[in-house]
Amino acid sequence: MNIDTLIIGAGAAGMMCAAHAGPNTLVVDHAKAAGEKIRISGGGRCNFTNMHASPANFISQNKHFCKSALKRYTQWDFIALVDQYRIAWHEKTLGQLFCDETAKDIVAMLRAEMDKSGAQLWLQTSVDNIGHDGTHFHAQLTRDGRITQILAKNLVVASGGKSIPKMGATGLAYQIAGQFDVPVIETRPGLVPFTFGEDRFKPLAGVALPARVSANNTSFDEAILFTHRGLSGPAVLQASSYWHEGEQITVNVDPAAGLFNTLKSARQTQGRKALTTVMSQYLPARLVEVLSGDLQLAGNIADQSDARLQEIADQLSHWELTPSGTEGYRTAEVTLGGIDTDALSSKTMGAKSVPGLYFIGEAVDVTGWLGGYNFQWAWSSGWAAGQEI
Ligand code: FDA
C-alpha cells in the first residue's frame, strides 16, 4: 500500500498531526482506542492546555527548541478549536483548562478533525520492519492477523514516551531514532511521586498541606501529599522533573512564613499549652506529632524563647529530604529526555539527517510542567509537523 504519510501513534500528538497532514495519511496504533491518555487525563476531564503556557514551562536540553512550535500553534489556537466544537471548559487553577463534561469530547473532536482531513486510522495494529530505501519509508503492519506492507513518503513518530507501560507506552520512538542514527537524550520519569525508604512517611499517609518544594534551584508552591510510599501532590510532582537520583529536595511546610509570628503571639495568649498543641493549630497535627521527635518539640509554648521559635520555623521551612527514588514509569505522567532536539528542525519537527522523518509529542526531549503544558506541546509539535507534510 502506497501512502504519503504514516503516523505511528494515535495519541494527542499523532491525532493533531493527522488532522493537518493531508488526505493520504494513515495513523496506526497498537491500542484498542485512540487517545487513551487523553481519555483518562485530568481525572477524566482532560487538562487540555494552560492559559499561561510559554517556553519557560518546559524542560529540555535546548530550552529554545520549543519556542517556534508553541508560538505558531498556541494555547489560544487550541482553545478556539475546542470552542468551535462547543466543548464547554473552565479554568480550575493556575491557568489550567479542563472540560466541563468529559475528556472523551477532546478525543471525539480530534477524531472529527482527522476525518475532515481524510486521514485513516488503524487500531490494534502492530508495526514492524521499519526501514528506508532512500526515497520511501517502508513498514510492515499487522492487523487482525493480516499483514500489509506500507510504502510512505513521510514517517511521523508519535508513539509517546515510556510513561505508564500498562497503557501501551513502549520505547518504539527511541528504537526508531537509534535505527536512523538520530541521537536520544537519556530518559527518566517525570511528574512522579518520590519514594522514601523504611516506611518513613507511612504514619503521615493521607496528610496534605500547602508547601514549597525545591529541587535543583527550582521551586513550586502547591499542595503536597504524604503517601504510604513517600511524597506526592502537585508541588512534589513538579519538583520531581528537576530532581536527579541521589539529590536532596527541600520542603518548606511554612510557605506563607507565618509560623514564627503565630507561635510568638500564642505564647502571650495560650502560654500554658504544649508547644505541639499550638503548632497543631497551624500545621496538620499528625505532621507535628511525627516531627516532634526530630525537632525536639518539648515543653509548653511559654517556655520557648524567640530564638527557639525562630529555629523551629527555620527548620520547618528548610526541611531537607533525600528521596530514595521515584515510583518510576509505572505512575510517571511524563518521560523526561527523548529525541535530541539538536537533531530536529524546531519549525517542522523533521529529522535534519533523514528527510521525511518526524518526531513529535512526548517522544521528543521537551517536557512540560504539570497543568496542561504537555498536551499543549503535543498539539503544537503535531501541528508543526502536519503543516510541513
Ligand atoms: P501518547 O502517549 O498520548 O500517545 C502515544 C500513542 O502511541 C499511544 O496511543 C500508544 O498506544 C501508541 N504507541 C506506543 N507504542 C506503540 C507501538 N509500539 N506501536 C503502535 N502504537 C504505539 N498532560 C496534560 O497536559 N494534561 C493532563 O491532564 C495530563 N494528564 C495525564 C494523566 C496521566 C495519568 C498521564 C499518564 C499523563 C497525563 N498527561 C497530561 C501527559 C500527557 O498525557 C502526555 O504528555 C501526552 O499524552 C503525550 O502525547 P503523545 O501523543 O506524544 O503520546
> What is the per-residue pLDDT across 266-302, written as a single tens digit (0 to 9) for each?
999 999 999 999 999 999 999 999 999 989 999 999 9
Q: Is residue 248 helix, strand or coil?
A: coil
What distances in angstroms separate CA 343 from CA 26, 47, 156, 176, 338, one per listed residue?
Answer: 25, 30, 15, 14, 11
For 189, the grid coordinates are 520519569
Indicate the DSSP class of residue 329: G
Residue 123: CB within 6 Å of ligand 1?
no
Predicted confidence at residue 22, as pLDDT, reads 86
Beta bridge partners, 128, equal 140
Q: Average pLDDT, stretch 239-261?
A: 97
- Which of 20, 12, 15 minimizes the C-alpha distance to 4? 20
Predicted confidence at residue 378, as pLDDT, reads 98
- Reported residue count of the chain is 389
Q: Average pLDDT, stretch 93-108?
A: 97
What's the 374 CA to ligand 1 centre distance in angstroms?
A: 9
Beta bridge partners, 99, equal 89
What's the 22 CA to ligand 1 centre distance in angstroms?
A: 23
Beta bridge partners, 68, equal none
Predicted confidence at residue 197, as pLDDT, reads 85
Q: For 137, left (φ over 0), alpha (ψ -120 to 50), or beta?
A: beta
Predicted confidence at residue 312, as pLDDT, reads 97
Q: Dihedral of CA 54/36/326/318: which sign?
A: positive
Residues 6+ apart with CB under 8 A from 42: 48, 98, 99, 103
What's the 12 CA to ligand 1 centre distance in angstroms?
A: 7
Q: Average pLDDT, stretch 13-22?
A: 97
Band of residue 67 on the pLDDT scale cut at 50, 70, 90? very high
Residue 230: is it exposed, middle or buried by C-beta count within 10 angstroms (0-12/13-18/19+)?
buried
Predicted confidence at residue 199, as pLDDT, reads 81
Kindly tell me if the per-residue pLDDT of 323 is higher than 90.
Answer: yes
Reported as type and span, the H/E element at residue 375 is: helix 373-388
What's the 80 CA to ligand 1 centre distance in angstroms?
A: 22
What is the pTM (predicted TM-score) of this model? 0.97
What's the 24 CA to ligand 1 centre distance in angstroms?
A: 24
Give the span between the Cα atoms of 264 and 12, in whole angstroms.
Answer: 53
Average pLDDT over the chain, rounded to whole? Answer: 97
Instruction: Tell me the pLDDT tens digit for each residue of 141-158.
Output: 999 999 999 999 999 999
Predicted confidence at residue 168, as pLDDT, reads 86
Please state which of the ranges 63-77, 187-201, 243-257 shows the lowest mean pLDDT: 187-201
Amino acid at 355: P
Helices (H), 26-136: 36-44, 67-72, 75-84, 104-117
Q: For a substitution probing ligand 1, which of 8, 36, 37, 164 has the most ligand atoms within 8 Å of its CB?
A: 37
For 27, the grid coordinates are 495513523
For 344, the grid coordinates are 530536529
Instruction: Tell me the pLDDT tens digit for each residue of 193-229.
Output: 999 987 888 999 999 999 999 999 999 999 999 999 9
Nearest CA to ligand 1 atom 26: 372
Nearest CA to ligand 1 atom 4: 11
Q: For a substitution probing ligand 1, which of 374, 377, 379 has the most ligand atoms within 8 Å of its CB?
A: 374
